[in-house]
Amino acid sequence: MTSKIMIVGAGIAGLSLAQWLTRFGLDFEIIEKNPAEYAFPSGIILPFNAVRELKDLDVFGHLEGRYFEAKNITFSKAGGKTIKTASLSEPPFESDQFIVLERQDLNAALLEGLKKKVRYNTELKTVEHGDDAVKITCTNELLDGTYDLLIAADGMNSLVRQKNFEGQTTVIDHNVACWRFILPYPDHGLQPLHMIGQTDLLMVYPTSEDALYCYAHVYDDQEGPGLGPDPKDNLRKIFAGYGGPAPEILARLDDAEIIPGRLQSVIEPCFFDRRIAFVGDAANGCSPLIQQGAAMALTDSRCLADTLAMQQIDQALITYQERLEGKVARVIRYADAPLAHLRSMQSWMGRSLRDLKIRTLGPPNVLAWKKLATERHFLS
């Protein structure tokens, strides 16, 4: 029997899921609240496991010429002094790639062959559970009706999750203000760099030889004087004392569109509830400190599509959760653990212990990637 499937969200999770469902011959609808021409002005970092997923999906070839391949990652102090550099071409990564690109380029690659399937400018309005289905309404009345499966692929602040768990708090705020932006920077000559201060961080990842993707954050419990309304002013004030490439980056901020935000995580991963499935950040969103958001979205989508192709919906959802919940719990722990100690970086002792750990064990994100590449939990 052919199932009626509705996917909410045409980002990384929704589009990769649609690609897999198409491969397995399963039909679906996709709705996306943003217009087709919307371009998210940010970058995305794809470690080895995200690249592997894109290759399995036969999408990686569409990215040719659109990405920067990173060879090493350096952690430095705010002033620019190197703490530790790690190679990305040594075991266990000798056969892998680590790439950085603009997010809109990844979305364009995932959209190949799906443009007629996505209904843009369409937002979910209501969700109602039935015995073996979900009834929805949205801003496109032609799509209103009953679906055998509703799939939430609409990000950390998922509207589907909010409507399904109405009145419940499902996301935690980590008291960290953050900013993302793409910066034109011809002939920068950089490899990925994390500059760490007290509770502040500036990450610089090239997307090409002439542009940088920058991510910055600072601890902000919102109890003090707080941050100002202008993100560029905030960045200039917080990172004024930084060395390395930071002064030149700050001098070029007028050429960038800054995306402000706050670091959040789901309180508890949720894979499904009756006939609603959750994928990507809607299921298991966590901090970006080990750059696993895209990898998790791609893995979730592949696993869910595979189970739907092999089993009836209710059993498929159970299998989907069983296959992923242990792995997801570990990734979230690796990603969110540093945030619990961020406030202690205000002390000299806390920073000294942090720097010693990086010098001894290596950059924490690379250390986490090695665990993902070698631990049996992620290889099964």
List the CATH number of the domain containing 45.
Answer: 3.50.50.60
pLDDT value for 300:
98
pLDDT value for 40:
82
- Domain carrying residue 346: 5-170+264-379
Decide if 287 is inside a domain: yes
Decide if 221 is inside a domain: no
Residue type present at position 94: E
pLDDT value for 339:
86
Which tens digit of pLDDT belongs to each residue from 182-204?
A: 999 999 999 999 999 999 999 99
Q: Which two tokens stand for residue 134?
A: 């979900």
Decide if 232 is inside a domain: no
pLDDT value for 232:
96
Taken as a whole, the chain contains a residue count of: 380
Residue 339 and residue 263 in contact, taking contact as beta carbons nearer than 8 Å? yes
Peptide bond into 92 cis (omega under 30): yes
Which residue has 């159970």 as its token pair? Answer: 318
pLDDT value for 224:
55
pLDDT value for 223:
59
Decide if 82 is inside a domain: yes
DSSP string, 181-239: EEEE-TT-----EEEE-SSEEEEEEEEETTEEEEEEEEE--SSSS---S-HHHHHHHHT
pTM flag (> 0.85)? yes
Decide if 90 is inside a domain: yes
Decide if 276 is inside a domain: yes
Q: How far apart are CA 109 and CA 8, in angstroms?
A: 19
Count of the separate structural domains present in the chain: 1
pLDDT value for 225:
57
User: Which residues of the chain have a pLDDT value below 70?
Assistant: 1-2, 222-226, 377-380
Decide if 180 is inside a domain: no
Decide if 166 is inside a domain: yes
